[in-house]
Chain A
């Protein structure tokens, strides 16, 4: 039946916000990925973690710290900026270029684990693979993400996934980390924007 007339004058609906991972969840998930990396790489020898800015960089450092805490292995950590390899550069205003810092030993012959916060279309990972190819020749490349939200546009999958979140395209996944945003949290913003 028809809504009461009062509904017409009510404010537009706010987008729904749902907390997917709390701060404690994020820590547990990072711990699990660190264990999985150790397991799958048999002790993380000859392994390098490369974080993709912005939030992949602190995640990579955390993973390295946890791996070191669990097994006493010092895994080299770096940052891989993919701005200049994006496929949408000329569709947007010029993007600022971030720093790329490779570990002193480089990536030649190493097992590189790319680290990012959210895996979505896969285009960022494609750009990262292109960038890696210009920086050296890793023995193999793996991918670790905190959240996989689906909707891939390229044939790319992650080797380590913190949490799979089924989403609608219109929804938005937002990861915040203590290093960049003050708190650890993963939120899902609903697709019902007014």
Chain B
């Protein structure tokens, strides 16, 4: 088993499949009277969040607690980071506290990689800058597999701000490993040149959403990050919504079995209309529930044995 989870590329097909299979067993725990397993008793998991996050942090916290680990939440606000402590000094503090795993979210791409050199425990990347968010990709893959029964051969369309999306990058890497075909769709200003080939061979780029919808098994909408709207990547929010937003009419052009995903938080009316977000094809709420199961699987597989 791997020691850290920093990138979707850290996982080969066997390891990724093992995580998804384990997550399926972990999901059963959520339906029990006692939602608790003793597997990580006595282990300490630190949630080190330098960026705001609700669902990812809560999801990791719930996952660690269901496995009986001790959880320490550390957010940059109100900590010594606000006083100017460096990432390295914070890492050494965590090391001294005996953290078995550090779940880190950081605005700087690559921060979890640096952290992995400084601590003895496992480092799990919970989102670094515009780089990667591997557990999101795992929960997306898990959701696809449980809804559609397979991953190999699926046509997955990822729509939106690919340039700034760590979700898109991790998904392309993981889904390609698992045999799905990913097509990146968005305005040319938000899709880096050559990104498809750079991430994984077999990945396509298309600038026309309507052209790819009829053959899609999965349409994954990315959040339009509000802070980007003023950066002139596209002329106006309304124009973006008209060309790349998913509304009811577009959804009906998708095949009958196709599903709509969104990593959240959504901008309703921007990249996705309420009609689509609340339709039975939308897996958005499922994705949140699956997130806990997948993160339990990752924590168990990284920390459950003597892999260090």
Q: Which residues of A contact B (CB under 8 A)?
A: 81, 84-85, 89-100, 130, 133-136
Contact = CB atoms under 8 A, between A and B. Distances in A.
B34 A134 contact: yes
Contacts of B305: 89-90, 92-95
Interface of B: 1, 18, 21-22, 25-26, 28, 32-34, 36-39, 300-302, 304-307
Contacts of B34: 133-135
A142 to B, nearest CB: 22
B38 A94 contact: no
Nearest to B23: A97
Contacts, number: 54
Contact of B307 (A93, A98, A130, A134): A93
Nearest to B301: A94
Contacts of A91: 306
Given A90-B306, A135-B32, A97 B25 contact: yes
Given A94-B300, A96-B18, A97-B25, A84 B39 contact: yes
Which of A91, A97, A98, A100 gathers the greatest number of chain B CB atoms within 10 Å? Answer: A97
A133 B34 CA distance: 9
Contacts of A84: 37-39, 300, 304
A94 B22 CA distance: 12
Of the listed residues A84, A98, A136, the one surrounded by the most CB atoms of chain B closer than 10 A to its CB is: A84
A136 B33 contact: yes
A94 B304 contact: yes
Nearest to A101: B28
A93 B28 CA distance: 23
A134 B304 contact: no
Given A95-B305, A134-B33, 6 more contacts: A84-B300, A85-B39, A94-B1, A96-B18, A133-B34, A135-B32
Given A84-B39, A130-B38, A97 B22 contact: yes
